[in-house]
Amino acid sequence: MAEFPKVRMRRLRKANLRWMFREARLSPENLITPIFVDENIKEKKPIESMPDYFRIPLEMVDKEVEECLEKGLRSFILFGIPSYKDETGSSAYDQNGVIQKAVRRIKAEFPDAVIVTDVCLCEYTTHGHCGVVKDGEIVNDETLPIIGKTAVSHAESGADIVAPSGMMDGMVKAIREALDAAGFESTPIMSYSAKYASNFYSPFRDAAESGFKFGDRRGYQMDIHNAREAMREIELDVKEGADIIMVKPALPYLDIIRMARERFDLPLAAYNVSGEYSMIKAAIKNGWLSEEAIYEVLISIKRAGADLIITYHSKEIAEKLQ
């Protein structure tokens, strides 16, 4: 094998040509922008734990989408803050629920915008868990028809992709069957396949008012120590009919993204979650990191093997990429 001085790695690092050899690239087309749609507000409301991020009033959601489209961002994932909550999360599948109204509103103006909807109950239940609660337990099988119904109501409103995030066993199968029965056999499912019980979601729970009243999510979200288990989760989702798989969070789980990339040929999404965003933003705000750190984080997720990144940094990074 050739070596120094024949080999000089620096030859390809000259300023005018090193860009040619980039192995990973970031494009606004691969970024999915989360939008928190709040039915209860009239003005954009800053999210304290997520600097420069806002809850958007339902009436302004189309304007928010328009701003993103102008920056080259074409896909969105919607989270709802509903006007009412109950034990079973019935506002999640209400045809006049916040997400259903938001999707119709966006689609009426921007039919080509890609709208992904988060399918989960935690924002819509009084207890804040992702499933139905019985005797203090989050019960699996009783939750499935409700998320099936929720996914169908999103598709009926015009959602392009539904994304179940509750980590219930059998959720992809239940949603696939419900969608097919309702005539939505062409609506893809992006499953939060390997979603860890992470500490990095706490700013999101502020933002989406989805904090739980008791216990934690470790009975359904994955144990942070495990990697092989993530492959089993993904494999099951693929068998159940997922069209796109996801690893979440992203930055502390780059190894899982890489493993998933090597094992599965489906499109792979990674969720650069709220805590990852807030951590970087806090350091930038304090002058401890430069803004370039955002790009470095996102490119690390691409390099690990993700095709798509859900990120709160999308607007600021799209501006730079343009």
How far is the C-alpha of 140 from the C-alpha of 119, rounded, in Å? 15
Q: Which of 85, 101, 149, 248 is catalytic?
A: 248
Instruction: Report the nearest approach of ligand PBG to the CB of residue 33 (Å).
Output: 12
How far is the C-alpha of 108 from the C-alpha of 210, rounded, in Å? 28
Q: How far, rounded to the nearest angstrom, does the alpha carbon of residue 285 sit from its chain's CA centroid?
A: 24
* DSSP three-state, residue 114: strand
Kindly state the tokens that stand for 118: 């988060």
Interface segment toward ligand PBG; rule CB under 6 A; list 18-26, 116-124, 141-149, 179-187: 116-124
Which residue among 58, 122, 222, 270 contacts ligand PBG (CB under 6 A)? 122
Tell the residue number behind the tokens 């790009």, with chain if given. 295
6 is catalytic: no
- Residues in contact with ligand PBG, shown as a per-residue x/- string from 213 to 252 under the rule CB under 6 A: ----x-----------------------------------
Contact flag: residue 165 with ligand PBG (CB under 6 A): yes
How far is the C-alpha of 184 from the C-alpha of 58, rounded, in Å? 25
Sign of the alpha-carbon torsion through 26, 263, 148, 91: negative
Interface segment toward ligand PBG; rule CB under 6 A; list 91-99, 115-123, 280-288, 301-309: 115-123
Output 65 or 138, the one with its CB closest to ligand PBG. 138
Could you tell me the CA-to-CA distances from 71 to 27, 55, 59, 229, 317 in Å, in that order? 11, 19, 21, 38, 9
Degrees to nearest 5, angle at CA 159 with 158 and 164: 145
* DSSP three-state, residue 194: strand
Closest CB to ligand PBG: residue number: 204
- Residues in contact with ligand PBG, shown as a per-residue x/- string from 249 to 288 under the rule CB under 6 A: ------------------------xx--------------
Instruction: Report the nearest approach of ligand PBG to the CB of residue 134 (Å).
Output: 19
195 is catalytic: yes
Catalytic residues: 195, 248
Residues that bind ligand PBG (CB under 6 A): 118, 120, 122, 130, 165-166, 201, 204-205, 210, 217, 273-274
